[in-house]
Amino acid sequence: MSDFIHHYEAGGAERPPLLLLHGTGGDEHDLVPLGRTLAPGAALLSPRGKVLENGMPRFFRRFGEGRFDVEDIKLRAAELAAFVEEARERYGIAQPIALGFSNGANIAAAMLLLAPEALAGAVLLRVMTPLVPDVLPDLAGKPVLMLSGSADPIVPADDAARLAGLLREAGATVQHQVLPAGHGLTQADVNLSARWLAEAA
């Protein structure tokens, strides 16, 4: 399975599976309770990021806050897409919707831009633009929910807006909302994500 440590929970076929992608310092168990809350009955696939930063798991390398290693992002996005394909075959699940927070949202966005066939859509919580591909993919019909925080000290407002624009230009159906929040998640994130996922099912 592309040697990702991961957690899997089986679910019903009536809801798309969720690919849970944790933030820096998280692991394969971090977002499982959130996944259960947002999409009751859905299969959950949750890999642990393979890059360590001061002992904390991440999904790709960076040079500093907001300064990403783009070549590593390309490598890791392809690796994660291969893991998803293998997991679909092993567990007999449909194309998943990514649910990513922070670093996990960034790698999910990179997958949309570089390996869109891996995902049915995405919920991107506190996401930044991971990279700008040389050629935009065809994301026609792929639904994306982006939730940003107006007081987020990590994600500049114009950066999130730039990503929303990129995804729309590629054809994705993007709903981008800026909440009165910081980088951490709030009840509003939970409510909006649950509603969006219920409609996407």
Each residue's pLDDT tens digit, 12-39: 989 999 999 999 999 999 999 999 999 9
> Quick check: 3 pLDDT over 90?
no
Each residue's pLDDT tens digit, 34-75: 999 999 999 999 999 999 999 999 999 999 888 899 999 999
> Quick check: 7 pLDDT over 80?
yes
> Quick check: 158 pLDDT over 80?
yes
Residues labelled as active-site residues: 102, 152, 183
Q: Which of the four pLDDT bands, split at 50, 70 and 90, describes residue 200?
A: confident
For residue 172, which phi and psi values (nearest 5 degrees)?
-70, 155
> Quick check: 191 pLDDT over 60?
yes
**Which of 60, 80, 76 is CA-nearest to residue 68?**
60
**How confident is the model at residue 134, as a pLDDT?**
93
**Alpha-carbon span 118 to 108, nearest angstrom:** 10
**Alpha-carbon span 58 to 61, nearest angstrom:** 7
Task: Please give the structure tokens belonging to residue 185.
Answer: 């998640």
**How confident is the model at residue 2, as a pLDDT?**
62
**Which of 78, 146, 89 is CA-nearest to residue 113?**
78
In angstroms, how far is CA 66 from the centroid of its own chain?
Answer: 17
Domain 6-200 has CATH 3.40.50.1820: yes
State the average pLDDT for the chain: 96
**Which of 78, 72, 68, 87 is CA-nearest to residue 19?**
87
